[in-house]
Structure 1
Amino acid sequence: MADSSQPGKLALAIIASVILFIALLAGSVWLAVFMIFLLFYSLRDKFTFFNQIKSNGMPNPMEVNVDRLSEKIGGAGKLVKWVVLALAGIWLFSSLIVVIDAGETGVYSLFGKVKDEELRSGFHLVNPLAKITHMTIRTEQYTMSIAPTEGQKKGDDSISSLTKEGLDVNIDFTALYRLEENKASDIYREVGVGYVDKIIRPEIRGVIRDVVSQYEAKELYSDKRQEASARMFSVLKERLESRGIVVEEAVIRNVQLPASLTKAIQEKLASEQEAQRYDFVLDKEKKEAERKRIEAGGQRDAQKIITESLDQNYLNYLYIKELKDRQGTIYVPINPATGMPVFKGIQ
């Protein structure tokens, strides 16, 4: 009895082989394993004991049962074939579509060749055999800190640097950066997705050591920290922009000095602040003394002017002016000729 399922199994084997090849190229491990299983399933009859007996012409008392079993398996094979075709169609359709999220860019590569043009955020139709690598273009933070859980590396990740006078200081540092989208394919081709550890981290450490060597420890600990941060930002930005990485900000978060030096600097700063306070008080007292001298001079000049302008008639006028508001005061006119009071009706 002929096995009618053999053409279907052969077609299933061919389809499974093609999909297996595509899966291996695309790097889909689970699909490849599934296709290998189907490939062995479709070719299993070629290696069975019963088929060997048939090919040798030996009598087979269970021929009828084997044929019936083959028919059943052939029907199941057709169902499996359609399921496989449906899964392959779904996989092929999904492989044609790529969605790039906002804040990301896609790097397109096919058989090891990287395409220069990046896939921007949105919907794209691509070759199902192509590999799309998603790379973020959002602003990212890279921190090196002495605190075990603050930075990208666990444990003490602060940068040990030598100052201008040769002292060893530990710097906590944070940089904000982002990947320039139109340079993503170049970075992927030359460095790969691990560009942070291969480019950004070494550059940060090198720039910090170069800049710190130009300052004294007390300057970094006090008034020159902002200036040093600005210089680090400028140098780091210049070095990384040529690689397609934009530096947005660079900040020295903390400067850790040897304990003895820290104490000495703090005492010196305290003394300088105390001296500045005394200078302020002294300047204030000088200005207050100057104000009093000016005030006294004004009073002296006023008294001199008053003294020089006073005469007897003016004093009499002031005396009379003061009497007018006093209760019980009676005004008696005086005859200027005789100096005697003048009373009405008296001759």
Structure 2
Amino acid sequence: MNRSLPFLLVGGFLAVLLVVLLWGSITTTIDFGQKGVIFRTFSGGIDKKKIFDQGFHFIAPWNKMYKYDVKIQEANSMMEVLSRNGLTIRVDVSYWYKPKEDRLPLLHDEVGPNYHEKIVNPAIRSATREVIGKYLPEELYSTKREVIEDEIMNRTRKSIAGKHILLDDVLIRDVTLPTSLQEAIEKKLKQEQIALEYEFRLEAAEKEAERLRIEAKGKAEAYDIINRSLTEKILQEKGIEATLKLAESNNSKVVIIGNSRNGLPIILGDNK
């Protein structure tokens, strides 16, 4: 019997046991929509050249894998801001962001996994206060909302430039004004809508009147042309043509050829 066999069996058992115990430390799974960045404890820290894709991976037990969600993420921030005239406005801002996938090692090294709390959210809040402070409440409430959203997004993008983060969109979901101001704005908007509707009706009436005037003018010109073309000789010829057609009718009649005032024959007849 080979004396080394028991030692081999014990060694194998210990190796398997060690793998089982360390399995969670030497393997990792990156889910869909994620990327991984590895920290190499004994070889330079963050590996800035390698980004791990989704799937199963082996790693050394002394290294550590950091996983980042690289899908578009949504967050919102509610805050109170001052408008241009000093009134306090409560706004609810939603925004969409994600880390730049090819910059994940740099993002992890310079900012870390909590980049939203450290970079994105403060930048959004600061840009929102700065932009809304340039406008009146009624502009935010109605006419300039899209312009304000674009300004907030552009200002935030400028603020986080170089931070390895992508800001996809910004949306003002809700605006809460003081009750008295909101009622005044709604009343003003309603009056403006009534005025626009009146202007539209007035313009439509003017266009219809112009159409009728042009139509009447056209008819008058047509009648004038017809009147100028109907000379006495033409009328006589037309009368003769009509008389001849009547004479060909099966109804009994008497046609008297005479010298009437208009020079046309006189037709006398009775229908049986």
Give the TM-score band, short-chain normalised: 0.7 to 0.9
CA distance in 2, matches of 1:167, 1:320: 91
1:264 and 1:340, CA in 2 relative to 1: closer, same or farther beyond 3 A? closer
CA distance in 2, matches of 1:243, 1:281: 55
Whether 2:203 is the aligned partner of 1:280: answer no
Which one of 243, 248, 251 corresponds to residue 328 of structure 1? Answer: 251
Aligned ranges 1:226-245 → 2 under 5 Å: 226-245=146-165
| Deviation at residue 334 of structure 1 after TM alignment | 4.1
Matched with 1:106 is 36
Name which of structure 1's ranges 306-315 and 206-215 shifts more when overlaid on structure 2: 306-315
Which secondary structure state, in structure 1, belongs to the residue aligned with residue 156 of structure 2? helix
Which one of 105, 125, 136 corresponds to residue 69 of structure 2? Answer: 136
Aligned ranges 1:217-228 → 2 under 5 Å: 217-228=137-148
The structure in which a higher percent of residues are strand is 2
Structure 2 stretches of 5 or more lacking a match?
1-8, 266-272
1:327 and 1:214, CA in 2 relative to 1: closer, same or farther beyond 3 A? farther
| Deviation at residue 206 of structure 1 after TM alignment | 0.4
Whether 2:40 is the aligned partner of 1:117: answer no
1:74-94, CA deviations, whole angstroms, 9 ceiling, x for partnerless residues? xxxx99x98665321323455
RMSD, aligned α-carbons: 3.0
Name which of structure 1's ranges 300-309 and 128-137 shifts more when overlaid on structure 2: 300-309
Output the amino acid matched with 1:99. T
1:177-236, CA deviations, whole angstroms, 9 ceiling, x for partnerless residues? 111123323333333322211111111100111111122211111121111111212222
The TM-score, its normalising length taken from structure 1, stands at 0.63
1:340 and 1:223, CA in 2 relative to 1: closer, same or farther beyond 3 A? closer
Which secondary structure state, in structure 1, belongs to the residue aligned with residue 94 of structure 2? strand
CA distance in 1, matches of 2:17, 2:100: 38
1:130 and 1:332, CA in 2 relative to 1: closer, same or farther beyond 3 A? same
CA distance in 2, matches of 1:264, 1:98: 60
The structure in which a higher percent of residues are helix is 1
1:320-347, CA deviations, whole angstroms, 9 ceiling, x for partnerless residues? 55564687374848489xx898xxxxxx
| Deviation at residue 261 of structure 1 after TM alignment | 1.1
Matched with 1:292 is 212
Output the amino acid matched with 2:76. T
1:250 and 1:321, CA in 2 relative to 1: closer, same or farther beyond 3 A? farther
CA distance in 1, matches of 2:264, 2:201: 66
Which secondary structure state, in structure 1, belongs to the residue aligned with residue 143 of structure 2? coil
CA distance in 2, matches of 1:287, 1:320: 47
Matched with 1:90 is 20
Structure 1 stretches of 5 or more lacking a match?
1-77, 145-157, 342-347
CA distance in 2, matches of 1:88, 1:166: 67
| Deviation at residue 313 of structure 1 after TM alignment | 3.1
Q: Which has the larger radius of gyration?
A: 1
Aligned ranges 1:68-83 → 2 under 5 Å: none
Whether 2:184 is the aligned partner of 1:271: answer no
Matched with 1:306 is 226
1:98 and 1:331, CA in 2 relative to 1: closer, same or farther beyond 3 A? farther
Q: Is the 8 A contact 2:51 2:105 kept in 1?
A: no
CA distance in 2, matches of 1:143, 1:301: 70
| Deviation at residue 284 of structure 1 after TM alignment | 1.1
Identity fraction in percent: 31
Which secondary structure state, in structure 2, belongs to the residue aligned with residue 247 of structure 1? strand
1:319 and 1:258, CA in 2 relative to 1: closer, same or farther beyond 3 A? farther
CA distance in 2, matches of 1:243, 1:340: 104
| Deviation at residue 308 of structure 1 after TM alignment | 2.6
Q: Is the 8 A contact 2:123 2:156 kept in 1?
A: yes
